[in-house]
Each structure stands twice: as structure tokens, then as C-alpha cells.
Amino acid sequence: MRKMLIADDNKQIVTIIEEYAKKEGFFVKAFYDGEDALTSALTQKYDVILLDVMMPKKDGFTICRTIRKNSTVPIIMVTARGEDFERIMGLDNGADDYIVKPFSPGEVMARVRAVLRRISEKNDMPGSHFSSGSLSVNLNEYTTQINETKISLTKKETDLLWTLVTNKNKVFSRDSLLSSLWGHDYYGDSRTVDSHIKRLRAKLDEVDHPDWEIKTIWGVGYKFEDLS
């Protein structure tokens, strides 16, 4: 049975989501403050985690960031406000998706199904390790190296790099990257892709790599280019 962790200090919301999740075959553990939720997330195995942003003791961003240091479990952030900076902050901290309150429990479960489907499709891809010159990416372990130097990337940055490097010289539009990495029902815009590319480049550029680059194709999008 699949396991879901729900962390939200609103017990009414938790109860409603829990009822819907159980109907879809999930075993649910609910927590109403950040500390208890984080302890459980780090000591037990879950198939998906729903995290409210504003919670007592520890906020959702802190919990998400801490979990990502140890696990690639799918995380969906729940926020009471829809400002871009909160959405981007959640994704930057390693969340796979976000939901803005108020929402219907049906929407929550649709997002859960979409995230799990994307994870399943990725796991079904042939091969989980890819190298191009000095660059090596391992999607099973979510590790990236340039020569012998390990590069610390977030889960989403690794997914983005994997998509580009396994499709050498193919130009991806911002919309196609947004759709493939965040899902067709994601409500963000191309700025999300641009901000992730910017941070990804900054981390990769800490080590010289004259044999390849992530190139901007102005007016179109991005591609991984082999320069060797």
C-alpha cells in the first residue's frame, strides 16, 4: 500500500484530504506541526508528501529543503497565497509541485496522481546514468559530477540537466521544459524555467567544462551543446 504524509495545522483540511487519499488506496499519516512531520519524513518511507507552507515549529520550506538532502520522495507544497515568489521558493527548495488554497480535494489527488505518474515514467526510462565528456549524471542517485568534482544540485535541477544532456543538441522551448518537468497542469510560466537554468548554470560553471555548455537559443529556449 502506498503511503502519504500530510502536514498541515488545519485539521479540517487534513481530514478531508485523508478521506480522499484513503479512497485511492493510500495509507495516510497526518501531522499538525513541522517538527513532527519532519521527524517522520526522515525516519519512514513515503510515496508522496503534502506540505503546508505555514506550520508551527517548522515551516514547509525548511522541511522540504531538509528532506531533499536525504530523499527524492515526491513533495507537493500547499500555500495559502499564490504569489510567484512562494511558488518559486517551494520549487527551488525541491518541491515537485504546489497547490494554492483554497482547493478541492479532487484537485489535490489529481496533482498527486500527476506527480507519481511523472516519477513512474522517469523510472521506466532505459538507463539511469549518462555521461558526456567531463559531465556525468546519475538519475538513480541524483548525483552530478564534472570530471571528479561533485556538483550539488537540487532534484529539479538534476531533472532539468538530465533532460537536456540526454537530448544533445536538441533545442527545448521553455514551454516544453515547463510541461515535461512540472507537468501539463502546472500554473507557472516560463520564468520558472529561466530561474532554474540560471541557478543550474551558476553551479556547473564553478568547475571548468570547455567541452560542453547549456546554450541559450534566443527566442526559442535552451539546449545542451557538445563542444568537443
Query: Could you tell me the residue ranges of all domains in the chain?
Result: 2-123, 129-226
Rounded Cα–Cα distance for residues 153 and 199 (Å): 9
Instruction: State whether the Cα torsion 141-142-146-152 is positive or negative.
Output: negative
Q: In this model, does residue 147 exceed pLDDT 90?
A: yes
Predicted pLDDT of residue 184: 52
* Spatial CA neighbour of 37 closest among 19, 54, 21: 54
69 vs 188, higher pLDDT: 69
Rounded Cα–Cα distance for residues 1 and 71 (Å): 19
Taking only the tens place, the pLDDT of each residue in 181-214 is: 776 555 556 778 888 899 999 999 999 999 999 9
The answer to whether the 2-123 and 129-226 domains have the same CATH topology is: no
Query: Is 2-123 a CATH 3.30.930.10 domain?
Result: no
The SS3 assignment for 146 reads strand
Predicted pLDDT of residue 100: 84
Rounded Cα–Cα distance for residues 96 and 19 (Å): 23
Supply the pTM of this predicted model: 0.66
Proportion of the chain above pLDDT 90, given as a percent? 48
Taking only the tens place, the pLDDT of each residue in 22-44 is: 999 999 999 999 999 999 999 99
Fold of 129-226: Arc Repressor Mutant, subunit A (1.10.10)
CA triple 62-68-74, angle to 5 deg:
105
